[in-house]
Chain A
Amino acid sequence: MNDDLQKRIQQALANPQNLGELADADAVGTVGNSDCGEMLRMWVKFKQQDGKKVIDRATFQSFGCETAIAVASLATELIRGKTAQEALALKTEELAGELGPLPPMKIHCAQLVEGALRSALEPEKIQEKKPQTSAGPTLLENFSRPKDGVKIEFLE
């Protein structure tokens, strides 16, 4: 990750916006899980404005990396005042806003935010998108699968 991007992330993290649960939210979406070390949950509250139902406020909680928190902070500001359709039309890179282009290894952070937003705003489509094929072993499983009942034999 280059230094410029790191600075922009640190700037976003210095004053993260919309952090925490939104008690009277109209929609909630979650992606990832804490076992993976990454989870992002987003709450969305709507209001009526000029005859349209627009996002009044969106908040988030994250167990994840700094970049995901920075993107979520910027994205929840970006979608304020937009309809659900307008928010869903935003591309992954647009959600990252002023962070600018993310390197390949960090694009998933913006995708995590996009996924949480989609999960909140169109949960039925998230269900449809679940992979049809069974996934193979993952790195996480390789090193963190349960090791109950391990029996140790000391060597002489």
Chain B
Amino acid sequence: MREVLEVFPGAQRALFRKYHIGGCSSCGFSPDETLAQVCARNGNLSVDEVLSQIQSSHEQDAKILISPKELAELLRGDKSVKLVDVRSREEFEAVRIENSVLLSQPVMQQLMSSGSNSEPIIVIDHAGKNGLDAAAYFIGHGLQNVRCLRGGIDAWAREVDPKMRRYRIG
């Protein structure tokens, strides 16, 4: 799996979205396992089918992304949008998008128990590094309308809200 992830960085997200593999310690895999071994111990999944999912992982990731300007437009028209911030508390307290919530265990459980809830959820990270993983995690748990802010809150500050202070982690 180590080589698979090197060639297809979005492979783990694709595996979790479709097959619930690799999301947490209960369904994780070892870097030393082969794809065939992972498929075999997950209900004998077809290796060819799984490989096809992995090969399209980049396109699948791209579909989840929402640009800062698209999000600004969405927020103007839809008050049900839930903004979930996956950064640290320090970052969240320093700068945040209005009405966003910091991901915590209670927020996580609330999201999970909302099941097939189709209200939009937008994941926000700092610069687009971890948000896709979080979005894939929620989608893999059956949430149907999850997207990730492309470029994170840093892109939001650059493209939508120039008054928002940009930062780096020291």
Contacts and interface: CB of A to CB of B under 8 A. Distances in A.
Interface in A107-156: 107-108, 131, 133-136, 138-144, 147-148, 150-155
A9 B115 CA distance: 10
A51 to B, nearest CB: 37
B22 A139 contact: yes
A136 B167 contact: no
Interface in B27-41: 27-33
Which size class do A's interface residues fall under? 35 or more
A105 B105 contact: no
Which size class do B's interface residues fall under? 35 or more
A155 B165 contact: yes
Nearest to A153: B170
A133 B1 CA distance: 13
A104 B168 contact: no
A6 interface: yes
Nearest to A156: B166
Given A1-B142, A105-B17, A154-B167, A37 B133 contact: no
Nearest to A112: B26
Interface string B1-30: 110000000001100111110111111111
Contacts of A32: 26
Interface string B69-103: 00000000000000000111111001000000001
Given A104-B19, A105-B18, A140-B24, A150 B30 contact: no
A32 B112 CA distance: 14
B108 A37 contact: yes
B28 A36 contact: no
Contact of B25 (A36, A107, A151): A36
B23 A139 contact: yes
B156 to A, nearest CB: 14
A150 B169 contact: yes
A57 B44 CA distance: 33
A103 to B, nearest CB: 9
A147 B2 CA distance: 25
Interface centre among B17, B32, B88 (most CB of A within 10 A): B88
Interface in A7-55: 9, 31-38
B170 A152 contact: yes
A13 B148 CA distance: 30
B54 interface: no
A1 B117 CA distance: 12
B112 A142 contact: no
B167 A105 contact: no
Given A143-B130, A151-B169, 12 more contacts: A6-B116, A108-B27, A136-B30, A139-B24, A140-B23, A143-B103, A143-B137, A144-B103, A151-B90, A152-B90, A153-B167, A154-B166
